[in-house]
Structure 1
Amino acid sequence: MSFRLDKAKVGGMGLLVWSFVVLLVGVSLDSPAIVEWEVYSTSSCYYSVVVALDWLSMSFGWVVAYISSMVLFYSSSYMSSERYLSRFVWMVFFFILSMNCLIFVPSIWGVMLGWDGLGITSFVLVVYYQNSGSLSAGMLTALTNRVGDVFLILAIYMFFSQGQFGLKSVEGVCVSSALVFVSIASITKSAQFPFCSWLPAAMAAPTPVSALVHSSTLVTAGVYLLVRLSSSLGELELGALTFLSCFTLLLSSMSANVEHDLKKVVALSTLSQLAMMVLALSVGYSFLAFFHLLVHALLKALLFMAVGSIMHGFNGVQDVRYMGGAFYSMPLTVFCFCVANLALCGFPFVGAFYSKDLIVEGLLSGGVSLVVIITVLLSAGLSVSYSLRLSYLAVFSYNKGSCFSNSVDKVGEVLPMLGLAVGAVCGGVFFQSIFLGFIEFFFMPTELKLVLLVVLLGALVGSLLCWSSSKSKVLEVSFSEHLLSTLGFLSPLSSQPLAGKCLRLSGLLYKQLDQGWMELISGEGAFLAIKKLGVFHHRYQSMRFNAGVGGVLLFGVLVVIWLLPH
């Protein structure tokens, strides 16, 4: 037991040291640096690995390393009773390595290795708990992400056709089509509509995995790739991203107000924040989208850790209707939970206030559609309502579940959360002053600031949704609640037709082709044919035919069989 715990803590310490190295190098860089390593060269072919060290990669690399170190420290206590903790730690390391490959290698080779590494490792981590629910969630995650992987492979092929290996803009019809495919791949990985059903389903993974996946790795890979290619995207791609992100933003925010599963509410909040990042990027504020990505990563990892500790305190219960009273028994955990919620809501001068306020003011002064502005403001009010709902039901209300609970602050879980609480509170002002260095100021007239009152309308709508869901009984669900909790029926439509049909079709092809016709006309069939020819030749010999005639006959038959496929 001690060896497994030490392995997680040593890994966390190594990642923490690496995060400080990345931070120091990123702060000391005056200009972007490119490090190129020649792997192989012959004749006119030249293969090399390029590592980009700029403020974009260094800031994101620091966030990934710092959050991963806190997650491993947290896992050493949270998963101390797990039998396969060593295997879990190695898979987390492979997951982090894939993300760093995607971040620091600005070529299609690095993107492909990191992209597929994230997909494979995420499937393994989602099915960590070996039961039918985890398997179905893992299959839905894998199949949905493979749709995006196919488009990414097509985009890489089109980049190859133009002789382009780096993530730079190149003129040509093929590259324009490749950018469309890259956009589709990015929205599948970042769970935008209609590929958003896998994100709540991935909650079947352990909570430390959710803290890592939903903050700074898998779901943000698509947004990071779009930020890298934002200057090359055309009007078609940007318009489609605007429409899909607005719909995802509103749908996920409303669904979070009627959801009762604690982890799924946090997952839906991740979905809404990802939609806000994609929306900011699609209207021309790619740096603001990246700024919000960094700040959101720190606070969302903290929120997931606090949620995991609260669930442990209530003996694994995830339904908020059976929780309450955690404030009295887990004060430090509740403190971190409330800090993360305030930072997520955009409380003044805390966490996401800096990024969300700049995005909203940029939309108001940037000449975008009024529908987009109203959607963002409504979602901001809805985020406040579901955050307050979670805080009240899980923390400040009376205990509505079992009186037998082991809710108590654990040092091994509280210390990593306190480490992330500093980042959640100070991350916004830190990134704004150190990495981004904004020099633009927004001045809005009073009439335009009155539009911000739409946020109150969103909070009112969210309160009504919360009140209607609280009145429903545990085993009775209304049509509207079922519609929102399934993301507009996307969850059943994605799981049954997609996964079920694909699995049945693959089983049919395996039975009819791999074990059917392919065996008859290839390996097994050829073996049986040669065996029968050997028996036939033996009979000829036993009937005292000329051995030379029999050999020539057998040789001729074998030549004819060899020529048939040609």
Structure 2
Amino acid sequence: MCLYMFFFLFFFSVMNFIFMIYFIMNNLVIFFEWELISFNSVSIVMSILLDWMSLLFMMFVMMISSVVIYYSKSYMSSELNLFRFIILVMLFVFSMILLIISPNIISILLGWDGLGLVSYCLVIYYQNVKSYNAGMLTALSNRIGDVLILMVISWMLNYGSWNYIFYLDFMKNDLIMTFISVMIIIAAMTKSAQIPFSSWLPAAMAAPTPVSALVHSSTLVTAGVYLLIRFNLLIMKTFFIKVLLLMGMLTMFMAGISANYEYDLKKIIALSTLSQLGLMMSILSMGFPDLAFFHLLTHAMFKALLFMCAGVIIHMMNNIQDIRYMGGVSLYLPMTCLCLNISNMALCGIPFLAGFYSKDLILEMVSFSNLNMMVFLFYYISTGLTMYYTIRLLMYMMVNDLNLLSIYNLYDEDYIMLKSMFILLFMSLVSGSFLSWMIFYYPYMIYLPFNLKMMVIYVSFMGGLLGYLVSNMNIYSINKFILTYNLSNFLCLMWFMPSLSTYGLNYYFLSFGQNLLKIVDMGWSEMYTGQGIVYILKNYSSFYNIFHINNLKIYLFSFVIWMMIIMYMLFLKIY
């Protein structure tokens, strides 16, 4: 089953690549309209938009999902119901493809909702309490975006068509279009986990590792970015775009800091995904959708590879995810560590790997743009933090000592996993250069002073050095010299966002609903007779009991109040 799906997806990925080259060379766009029902001049049509962007993105999604399914053949081999898992992954991929090729907001909703529902099924796959909680948080966070897309559909009814490509470049001061664009932006922020909807993304790590590799590289989290790239001309005219820039930068910064305090291997990689999503969102809000798309594609390759390497290491470590137990892994798993190091270096933007071409271009365009100092600092500090947590991860896993309590048989001979990782390794090496030659018709000429050109290297070097030094410190010196416990607690818990998204949103509302349910469901007779009257009398008697303590302060306070009331009455009589 896995092999059939692998060849099916891989074949279509190659086909999409060939079509994409043909489309981009001839500057083709194909727009299909398939009329499903025509009733009293009301026609319901299914639309498909094929251009170089949708074909290229489909090629990447299909390639990564084919490799992930092949990887699952070994990773999920102990699973009894592997067929169900593969079907869920295929549903997930087809939902994403429907979203990619849709120019119609209704068919976008089908793909968008499909992603949300299938991701819930995949996150709760292992069926324990942690998975159920994470799945519920993921599903409910994504429901906010689904509701906003539904509202966009109802607002767009005013214009007579749901094909968004007809409205992208008109109505500059139209209030309804402003509402639509704001709702599209917030919906994209929920799916791409920007602040304040960030807490679901690390929680979704409860899913199996192949699912994490798929979700966090090219499908679920990139759906919001892709939607904004498609709606780019519309959203650039709204006031809310500045808010998106701020939220993107804060997400990038927050995720970078939290990753430096995290010890769970999968959560570190998830937070690095969150950081890169903030980078894509913020550069998109500055008016560079092509750069955001470029980084989205290069990031998909090395992030999927990173998750696959993490999955192999977690398997070999007897399902331990804490990086403090790992160390010296490169001696036992050389090929896996080769893939891990190269994907990590691509994430940092080491020259001539995939991440370098997109990340360097984005940072140079930020230096080149007419923006304030805060934006500039956020971008470069976040780049430094990326280097920081990457070097820290490599130090803990490759250089430090193995801290397992007993010896496990660490071996590197799972050739199914290795073959799938080598496909992505090759793509992580070459995808950046071939995309930069293919997407941009002419080379970007960015003329900057020498120090600004070298700024990325300076910041990366500083971040790497700090990561090396901090990973060599012991825990006492870190607590003593760097940060107090409370501040480090605030930083490592993603600015308390998981707590705010869970306890902050359910405890008071549920208790309020419970009281309301008592009144509405049981009726007034239940509330104010029998047991209800006992509760009321008990509360009043405990309140009046305070006055029977013979406390001098109470009498004095009541005397002062009475005197003020009498003086006020006299004042009213006089005037």
> Normalising by the residue count of structure 1, what TM-score does the alignment of the two structures yield?
0.85
Per the TM alignment, residue 102 of structure 1 is displaced from its structure 2 partner at its CA by 0.3
Change (3 A) 1:329 1:459: closer
- Which SS does the other structure have where 1:37 is aligned? strand
Contact 2:383 2:459 in 1 (8 A): no
- The within-5 A match list for 1:414-425 is 414-425=418-429
- The within-5 A match list for 1:7-156 is 7-29=1-23, 30=26, 31-156=28-153
Per the TM alignment, residue 273 of structure 1 is displaced from its structure 2 partner at its CA by 0.1
- Is residue 375 from structure 1 mapped to residue 369 from structure 2 by the alignment? no
Change (3 A) 1:166 1:511: farther
- Which SS does the other structure have where 2:47 is aligned? strand
- Which SS does the other structure have where 1:249 is aligned? helix
Match of 2:569 in 1: none
1:441 to 438, 445, 463: 445
Q: Which amino acid aligns with 1:302?
A: L
Q: Which amino acid aligns with 1:164?
A: S
Q: Which amino acid aligns with 1:333?
A: T
Change (3 A) 1:507 1:222: farther
- Greater CA deviation, 238-247 or 458-467? 458-467
State the alpha-carbon separation in 2 of the partners of residues 216 and 82 from structure 1. Answer: 25
Q: Which amino acid aligns with 2:19?
A: V
Cα distance per residue 1:519-550 (max 9 Å; x no partner): xxxxxxxxxxxxxxxxxxxxxxxxxxxxxxxx
Per the TM alignment, residue 484 of structure 1 is displaced from its structure 2 partner at its CA by 1.7
- Is residue 490 from structure 1 mapped to residue 487 from structure 2 by the alignment? no
- Which SS does the other structure have where 1:379 is aligned? helix
Q: How many residues align?
A: 509
- Is residue 299 from structure 1 mapped to residue 302 from structure 2 by the alignment? yes
- The within-5 A match list for 1:34-433 is 34-168=31-165, 169=168, 170-171=170-171, 172-233=174-235, 234-409=237-412, 410-433=414-437
Per the TM alignment, residue 446 of structure 1 is displaced from its structure 2 partner at its CA by 2.3
Change (3 A) 1:508 1:204: farther
State the alpha-carbon separation in 2 of the partners of residues 46 and 387 from structure 1. Answer: 53
Contact 1:98 1:118 in 2 (8 A): yes
State the alpha-carbon separation in 2 of the partners of residues 126 and 472 from structure 1. Answer: 38
Contact 2:33 2:47 in 1 (8 A): yes
State the alpha-carbon separation in 1 of the partners of residues 468 and 488 from structure 2. Answer: 14
Cα distance per residue 1:483-510 (max 9 Å; x no partner): 1221011111112222555666777888
CA RMSD in angstroms comes to: 2.3
> Normalising by the residue count of structure 2, what TM-score does the alignment of the two structures yield?
0.84
- Which SS does the other structure have where 1:41 is aligned? strand
Change (3 A) 1:398 1:462: closer
- Equivalent pairs: percent with the same residue? 40
State the alpha-carbon separation in 2 of the partners of residues 400 and 134 from structure 1. Answer: 27
Where structure 1 has 5 or more consecutive residues not aligned to the other structure, the ranges are 1-6, 518-566
Per the TM alignment, residue 469 of structure 1 is displaced from its structure 2 partner at its CA by 8.1
Per the TM alignment, residue 353 of structure 1 is displaced from its structure 2 partner at its CA by 0.2
Contact 1:258 1:465 in 2 (8 A): no
Q: Which amino acid aligns with 2:221?
A: V
Contact 2:182 2:238 in 1 (8 A): no
Per the TM alignment, residue 40 of structure 1 is displaced from its structure 2 partner at its CA by 1.9
Per the TM alignment, residue 302 of structure 1 is displaced from its structure 2 partner at its CA by 0.3
State the alpha-carbon separation in 1 of the partners of residues 195 and 470 from structure 2. Answer: 22
Contact 1:378 1:457 in 2 (8 A): no
- Which SS does the other structure have where 1:322 is aligned? coil
